[in-house]
Structure 1
């Protein structure tokens, strides 16, 4: 599935674009042991713009799009964004707590931001993700599992799994079987 080389050094994906988000803080000392897959598009349903980066860096102009008036004040982030072309942008180093999960619970443990890494895929619930996105996601996932051994296949989930009823991403268009098969193969 993925022959893309991926390395992590000093809690950053080597070669990824870096766009520092202020929306993070220190982890409470917990081992990184969960990977959460999300989706995002800004404006909703549109791909390729600067809205996601602007949101994660608190620079979203509320006058640029009507939807932005509803969300411009949010202070949110993710560790990574994988765009439709497979490009990777890192917003928060992995040793920091990104603000991606919100109210969340995994296997009886609340506050998933404390011990998770959040990856956003540029997309929406019902539009298939691109081949390049899957390739990049698989490469990054393998690197994360090597660098942070607390992340195992059983500890990879969607935002909808840790915030049911509140979140639906990555949605039915995300092919979990394909993804899980690819991270398991060498």
Structure 2
């Protein structure tokens, strides 16, 4: 899978959203952050994650959505349980996925990171198809952005401890890193 000069993945569905802006320094893309999301919480295969990232979610569609009103968030990519990937924001641009965050004393991780959301929860096992797609996309990202190494692939919980817990205890880091190494 290739990434073009604009930071767009080949062979991945593109759903351009408006929830992004310019990075302060395009040359400083140096962190990959793994997240999880499901809307409503614990429900998979709904249209609501896509609608959230596209800014079109109906906050009256479910009682738990009331706190999403006027929320402007995005991820670079979203990987469904089936392994299907959608790219919302080119990697060259700053997606709004990390919120208040810090990594190795550098604040505002959105400035220098790429965010990938997995359809899931902290406690439900992720599908093998998701790990396969995540591995392929991560490998492509590492080739295009060499400052991202395995040691600079982290969970949302690592950059916002106490505030975020994803991708959670259900994410199998050893499996993912082994798959990443095998793809070399």
Q: Is TM (by shorter chain) over 0.5? A: yes
Q: Which moved more, 1:55-64 or 1:108-117?
A: 55-64
Structure 2, gaps ≥5 residues long: none
The residue correspondences of 1:41-80 to structure 2 (distance < 5 A) are 41-80=38-77
Structure having the higher helix fraction is: 2
* Aligned twin of 1:24: 20
The residue correspondences of 1:87-106 to structure 2 (distance < 5 A) are 87-106=84-103
Deviation track 1:121-172 (CA, whole Å, cap 9, x = no partner) reads 0000000000100000000000000011010111100000000000000000
Aligned with residue 131 of structure 2, among 131, 134, 154: 134
Secondary structure of 1:161 counterpart? helix
Q: Which runs of structure 1 show a deviation greater than 6 angstroms over 4 or more consecutive aligned residues?
A: none
Hey, what's the Cα distance between the residues in 1 that align with 2:123 and 2:156?
15
Aligned length: 181
Structure 1, gaps ≥5 residues long: 1-5
Hey, what's the Cα distance between the residues in 2 that align with 1:122 and 1:105?
24
Deviation track 1:40-88 (CA, whole Å, cap 9, x = no partner) reads 0011110011101111111110111111111132100000000000000
CA RMSD of aligned residues (A): 0.8
Aligned with residue 182 of structure 1, among 160, 179, 183: 179
